[in-house]
Structures are given as C-alpha cells and as structure tokens.
A = this chain, B = another copy of it.
C-alpha cells in the first residue's frame, strides 16, 4: 500500500510551484481528508522554505479535494534566522482548494521549560479500543490509510448510540509502522471523525472552514494518544480542539478547527 509520504509527495513545477496528486481512496464520502490535503501543501512549503518542520500552519478550505493532479503555488513572506513564513494555494484543474499560511522551522531537539495543565488521555490499550475499519461508505475509505482506535466510551456514534459528549479520544498511527513525522501530525489532527457525531442529533456533514495546527516537537515512534473536543456550537459554527501526544508522553501537536454547522 502506498505510504503517507508517497501520497503527499510534491515535485518542482516552476519557481515557487510544486505539483502533487490527490490520491484516490484518501476520501470521506468522496472528499479528500482535510489533514491529508494540508500535508501536501505543507510539504511544498517545507521545500520552498528549506525548513523541515511546520510550527504553526493554518489552512482555509475553499472547495472539496477530488482525486487528481494539483498544483501548489508558494510564496515566502519572510525568511528569518529561526523561522520562515510562507503562503500556499493548492489548486486542482478547476479551482483553488486550499489556502495556507504557515511558519516553518527546525524542531529537532526542541526543549525548554515545561508547564502542563493536562496530560495525555487515559486510554485502554489499542486492541481494547474500537478500530475504525474502512468501508466504501462509513467508516470511510480514508481509514485504510490511518490506523485509528477509539476509546470505547467515545465510539457510540459508530453503532447508532452517540455518547452525548462532544469528545473523541483514541490512538493514531500510520499503517505498516510508517514513521509519523511533523507532516504526519497534520494528518493526525484531522483524522478522527467529527466530535459532533456524538451529539444526540448528529448532522451528517460539518465542513471545515479553517484548521490551525501547532507542532510542538517531533514525535517519538509508536502509537499516539489523541483527544478532540468541542465546547461551543453557536452562531452556525463549532470549534474542535485537538491534542496529539507521542509514545514518550510529550505533547507534539495542538489543533483547532472552525467548522460549519449545517443549517436546518
């Protein structure tokens, strides 16, 4: 099976321009997963800035991603000593799909003072959790490309018994023991089903308007513990906050996305 690294690869296609391919099968109901799309754009930005790691990356989702060739136009706004900041637009043949703004740097050996107002979620072992197994419908084909295990208390939506709590905890890894690097974290923060699926009257489709990921460090190999929660559904929007913790117990990514609540 193709790796995440292969499925997000980009090639030079002109000054500041990169070509890639949205692969078939990375979709949810026909639309490519948002974190996967972001990783393609971020890989182009890593090449453009010459910095290995995303530090803070924001994507605005403009149109659904369909399988096929895409181009990523990048523009470096500032090259500093420690960080570089750049924009990207990912386009398919017809239209812009993703607008991205990010700051990149080198997170190797990142350390410093540490204060924690929380820790990784408590989870039963991966084999005691609810495995999201890909189907052609739900769970979606995308689940073939990630290995997700949901906390049994949070997996009720999958069997028609939503927990009523806008919380999803679980394990994440890439299949075949592919190492999750800092670009892989951009996939992890958007890989889980929407928290709103556990609300009592779950809407079918909550499109992401914007996703921001903060990467705190390079993950240790192995399973990652993830926690996604929503506190406020209001004004037609909801936020979804994510945390990804690596096997060594370090917080490696935080995320927040703003999604649209479908109008009745």
The residues of A with any CB-CB pair to B shorter than 8 Å are 55-56, 58, 60, 62-63, 77-78, 80, 83, 85, 87, 89, 95-96, 99-103, 107, 110-118, 166, 199, 209-210, 212, 214, 216-217, 229-239, 250-251, 254, 256, 258, 261, 263-264
Whether the Cβ atoms of A250 and B230 lie closer than 8 Å is: no
Whether the Cβ atoms of A110 and B236 lie closer than 8 Å is: yes
Q: Which residues of B contact A238 (CB under 8 A)?
A: 115
Whether the Cβ atoms of B234 and A58 lie closer than 8 Å is: no
Taken together, the copies of this chain in the complex come to: 2
Whether the Cβ atoms of B77 and A62 lie closer than 8 Å is: yes
Q: Which residues of B contact A77 (CB under 8 A)?
A: 60, 62, 89, 96, 99
Sample of 9 A–B contacts (CB below 8 Å): A55-B258, A112-B233, A114-B233, A116-B231, A117-B229, A117-B232, A210-B212, A234-B250, A235-B250
- Given A78-B95, A85-B99, output 11 extra A-B contacts at Cβ < 8 Å: A55-B237, A55-B258, A58-B210, A78-B96, A78-B99, A87-B101, A112-B263, A214-B237, A216-B232, A216-B235, A217-B234
Given A89-B77, A263-B112, do A237 and B216 touch, yes or no (CB 8 Å)? yes
Distance (Å) between the CB of A48 and the closest chain B CB? 14
Q: Which residues of B contact A102 (CB under 8 A)?
A: 60
